[in-house]
Structure 1
Amino acid sequence: MKSIKQQTTDNLNINWKNFYRSVFALVIPMALQNLINVGVTAADVIMLGKVGEKVLSGASLAGQIQFIMMLIFMGITSGATVLTAQYWGKKDTRTIERILGMGLSAALLIAALFAAAAIFIPQPLMKIYTSDPEVIKEGVKYLQIVGISYVFMAVTQVYLNIMRSIERVLIATIVYLVSLLVNISINAVLIFGLFGAPALGIRGAAIGTLCARIVEMMIVFFYAFVKNKVVRIRFGDMIHIDKILLKDYLVYAMPVVLNEMMWGMGSSANTAVIGHLGSAAVAANSVAQVARQLATVVAFGICNATAIYLGKTIGERKLEHAKAYAKRFIWLSVILGILGGAMILLAAPIANANLALTGEAKEYLSFMFFVMSYFTFGQCWNSTMVVGIFRSGGDTRFGLIMDVSTMWGCSILLGAIAAFVFHASVPVVYVILMSDEIIKMPITWKRYKSYKWLRDVTREKEELEGA
């Protein structure tokens, strides 16, 4: 019998037209969701950028708290997707409900901790990212309001991501589209004081975000309890945890949670280093990051579709098909990475012409957009490999080890030394801080070619408690 590594795909008779049709049925709604989510951030950046550099910097740095929390949520749900996508391939919806219950419990606990920190100790949190008293002051105003929204986000993020893993992707698009419209409308009214409303500046942006999160959760509850008859939220599953399933969840999900936390803390550490280089560097970086997010909306749709599609295929025990599909997903990531990088280069002069930034910030912005153009290619490649291909087969520890070593042991460490020991220029520090995605590329390629990621991690119903 051939090993997985030796198997060929020539005799599989795959209908590639159906493959692409199924993949893009997942990708397009998820890309729209990513675009809408970035649109929320972009709206804040554009509106607050017109108010002033300090306000924009304050909101951008305050957003790092939510960013870290969201990455933990992503870890919880991505780890769950390792299991749910494969159980979906087996059509075991009861086990998926149990996994959903565990995910909701974990996310609500995390959200409560982050909300308490944002509301009660916002100033110490802001001091992690900047020493500028004006930026800290603005960030505190933002955090104390937006922190309330974290609990609503916990429910929405976990539920919608689990729905993605069972190919229910349209509901998230509807939720985020309504959220975007609510957010932009309230932002415009309260930031600038339209229609006789008070001009609240950064507080207006925070209130807009809070209202949008409340609306999101209301739509999710309506769908979960009225419309969705396939996988339900059962409060009992949030309290009574299946011990065998919990063990599997910890084995496959906890490395993802830690991976996302370490990656998120690494990205946040990058922002903290940049934050101590001045408000001009912070403002330029906040715009560059939005450009990167816009350029990768489809790529992240691909990597999430990869995890779902390959996980389902592995759950169906079609390992040779999974190997063939993985190769196609890699090519898609390459194409999208090139397109994303080119889009960033084209957007640089447009961003510089339309934002109220200082001359120094505009100079930094042009350089940061260039760095983001190749960083985006590396991120598209690595995300498809780690988040899509490797996690689909339960290979979750590899991503954790790689991210910790390349980010914390290389780019962050060297970037911090360059900034604070050698007092290097902002462009030099930025190149070093953004080098990790390029370093990862040959490492992920070697792991992919080993096929150690290609495993079925599900259990039979008889093995689970209460089956």
Structure 2
Amino acid sequence: MKRELNDDKVQFYKNVFALVLPMALQNLINVGVTSADVVMLGKVGEIALSSSSLAGQIYFILSLILFGLTSGAAVITAQYWGKKDIETIEKVLGISMQIGLALGFLFMAASQLMPETLMKIFTSEPEVIQEGIRYLKLVSWSFPLAAGTLVYLNIMRSVERVLVSTVVYSISLVINIVLNAVFIFGLGPFPAMGVAGAAMATLCARIVEVMMVLVYSIKLNRQVCLRLKNLIHRDKILMKDFKVYALPVILNELAWGTGISAIAAIIGHLGSAAVAANSITQVTRQLSQVVILGIANATAIILGRTIGEKKEELAVVYGNRLVKLSAILGIFASIIVLAVNPIIKRFMTLTPEASGYLDQMLMIMALYVLCQAVDLTYIVGAFRAGGDTRTGLILDGVSLWCICIPFGFIAAFVFKWPVWAVYLCLTSDEMLKLPFSHARYRSGKWIKNITRDS
């Protein structure tokens, strides 16, 4: 009996890492794109780095809404995948694509029509605003392309087709890095474009991504298809389920994403040195969490499929294993955050002020990523897999918008606290919500089979 349990554990972790490793590689690739911009624009100067970072908050908000959309859809598709109901999964894919493309065009239109207004939300420095407008007006043409790609690949991931997104984003990363160097610094016959060059490289990479996704969807994927009829028509009953389970996730990601952007806006008004340090800190956070995000997403897929198979008790066993694994990985992530500081300073051109801020921010971020590792597995993984999508919305909404952002704003502009103290106020949300997410998980109230009989 004991040997059987050990064999089950070995097979379980094999299945986990078969999902996690491609997703972790994809997360690493996504960080690589951001890192390439940060490193290359860091060589140009703080103004270029700060402007692209703040202008990038517009796409950051869009990507988080899209992540919420697809994560909410995955609540449904993962359970129907356990039930092997492909027709319903295709309908959910069609609904998600409709909404995703509409959001992409909406954000593109806003960026084209009022780029200065958007930049002034994040900074009051004229030079940073002007450079940010150059970046935003060009990169925004890629928003609908990125939306379509992200929606399709994330839905495929929820039905355990994780390798395709890794291949697509790997090729995109190489193209982005090469074209970054060409357009930013003006290699060969091309003029040096600076911050606009980074935007041009991103746009070209997004075009290639769409072409690859179209080839895969039309020629290679014969199991879960994107059908024209599902892009035009909506299943009314399924749409009700979509609103119940997906809408809270979209609102959750919107609350979290706009909260992070509000934090960036507050830091943006503390000066370009603070913005540059925060830009580097955020990339470091993303780098340290590539495997953690993979664990959270794998948790959603595995538990969702298991609940869809009506094996709720087994879902709890799997959930406990994944939570423990995420805590261990969180410790390693914290160590990485602290370890990369001297490496960053060797390759980046920073003022003494920005360098000092970076030291302080990375110390705070080390604690942040440890708590977030477990929070993500609870909220993004287990709760969403079980259809308990409102809990994450409540936890993020209260911790960010009722506590961290108001206190951070007061600390920055009323009490005039030092940057490190403001940063601690702004990034304490993961520490605050961890006891509550843990209690919710232990209660078992998050488990619910949300599939319908045909």
- Shared fold by TM > 0.5? yes
Paired amino acid for 1:377 = L
- Aligned pairs (5 A) from 1:131-146: 131-146=124-139
The match for 2:400 among 401, 404, 407 is 407
Contact 1:156–1:217 under 8 Å retained in 2: yes
- Aligned pairs (5 A) from 1:267-278: 267-278=260-271
Q: Alignment partner of 1:343: what SS? A: helix
Runs of 4+ off more than 6 Å: 9-14
Match status 1:392 vs 2:359: no
Match status 1:344 vs 2:337: yes
Of 188-197 and 359-368, more deviation after overlay is shown by 188-197
Contact 1:12–1:321 under 8 Å retained in 2: no
Paired amino acid for 1:233 = L
Return the alpha-carbon distance in structure 2 between the equivalents of residues 437 and 139 of structure 1.
30
Q: Who is 2:432 aligned against?
A: 439
Paired amino acid for 1:319 = E
Match status 1:214 vs 2:232: no
Q: Who is 1:115 aligned against?
A: 108
Q: Who is 1:261 aligned against?
A: 254
Q: Who is 1:166 aligned against?
A: 159
Match status 1:306 vs 2:296: no
Percent identity for Structure 1 against Structure 2: 55
Match status 1:34 vs 2:16: no
- Aligned pairs (5 A) from 1:92-103: 92-103=85-96
Question: Normalized against structure 2, the TM-score is what?
Answer: 0.98
The match for 2:189 among 196, 199, 203 is 196
TM-aligned CA deviation for residue 196 of structure 1: 2.9
Match status 1:225 vs 2:197: no
Q: Who is 2:146 aligned against?
A: 153
TM-aligned CA deviation for residue 124 of structure 1: 0.4
Change (3 A) 1:11 1:36: closer
The match for 2:356 among 350, 353, 363 is 363
The runs of 5 or more residues in structure 1 that have no matched partner are: 1-8, 462-467
The match for 1:55 among 23, 48, 51 is 48
TM-aligned CA deviation for residue 378 of structure 1: 1.1
Return the alpha-carbon distance in structure 2 between the equivalents of residues 273 and 267 of structure 1.
10
Paired amino acid for 1:220 = V
Change (3 A) 1:11 1:441: farther
Paired amino acid for 2:312 = L
Return the alpha-carbon distance in structure 1 between the equivalents of residues 400 and 185 of structure 2.
40
TM-aligned CA deviation for residue 14 of structure 1: 7.3
Q: Who is 1:465 aligned against?
A: none
Q: Who is 2:233 aligned against?
A: 240
Return the alpha-carbon distance in structure 1 between the equivalents of residues 310 and 153 of structure 2.
26
Deviations 1:53-77 (A, max 9, x none): 0000000000000000001100110
Paired amino acid for 2:113 = F
The match for 2:288 among 289, 295, 318 is 295
Return the alpha-carbon distance in structure 1 between the equivalents of residues 429 and 67 of structure 2.
20
Contact 1:191–1:202 under 8 Å retained in 2: yes
Return the alpha-carbon distance in structure 1 between the equivalents of residues 70 and 50 of structure 2.
30
The match for 1:83 among 76, 81, 94 is 76
Paired amino acid for 1:348 = N
Deviations 1:252-276 (A, max 9, x none): 0000000000000000000000000
The match for 1:372 among 365, 368, 371 is 365
Deviations 1:137-183 (A, max 9, x none): 11000000000000001110000000000000000000000000110
Q: Alignment partner of 1:394: what SS? A: coil
The runs of 5 or more residues in structure 2 that have no matched partner are: none
Return the alpha-carbon distance in structure 2 between the equivalents of residues 374 and 425 of structure 1.
19
Contact 1:352–1:365 under 8 Å retained in 2: no
Q: Who is 1:5 aligned against?
A: none
Q: Alignment partner of 1:459: what SS? A: coil
Contact 1:411–1:436 under 8 Å retained in 2: yes
The match for 2:421 among 404, 409, 428 is 428
Q: Alignment partner of 2:416: what SS? A: coil
Paired amino acid for 2:239 = L
The match for 2:170 among 170, 174, 177 is 177
Return the alpha-carbon distance in structure 2 between the equivalents of residues 359 and 404 of structure 1.
36
Return the alpha-carbon distance in structure 2 between the equivalents of residues 38 and 46 of structure 1.
12
Deviations 1:373-402 (A, max 9, x none): 110111111111000000000000011011
Q: Who is 1:279 aligned against?
A: 272
TM-aligned CA deviation for residue 353 of structure 1: 2.3
Q: Who is 1:3 aligned against?
A: none
Q: Alignment partner of 1:167: what SS? A: coil
Question: Normalized against structure 1, the TM-score is what?
Answer: 0.96
Match status 1:419 vs 2:412: yes
Q: Alignment partner of 1:15: what SS? A: helix
Return the alpha-carbon distance in structure 2 between the equivalents of residues 106 and 197 of structure 1.
37
Deviations 1:80-101 (A, max 9, x none): 0000000000110110000000
TM-aligned CA deviation for residue 424 of structure 1: 1.0
Paired amino acid for 1:171 = V
Contact 1:82–1:391 under 8 Å retained in 2: yes
Return the alpha-carbon distance in structure 1 between the equivalents of residues 264 and 198 of structure 2.
21
Return the alpha-carbon distance in structure 2 between the equivalents of residues 11 and 298 of structure 1.
28
Cα RMSD (Å): 1.3
TM-aligned CA deviation for residue 10 of structure 1: 13
Match status 1:451 vs 2:439: no
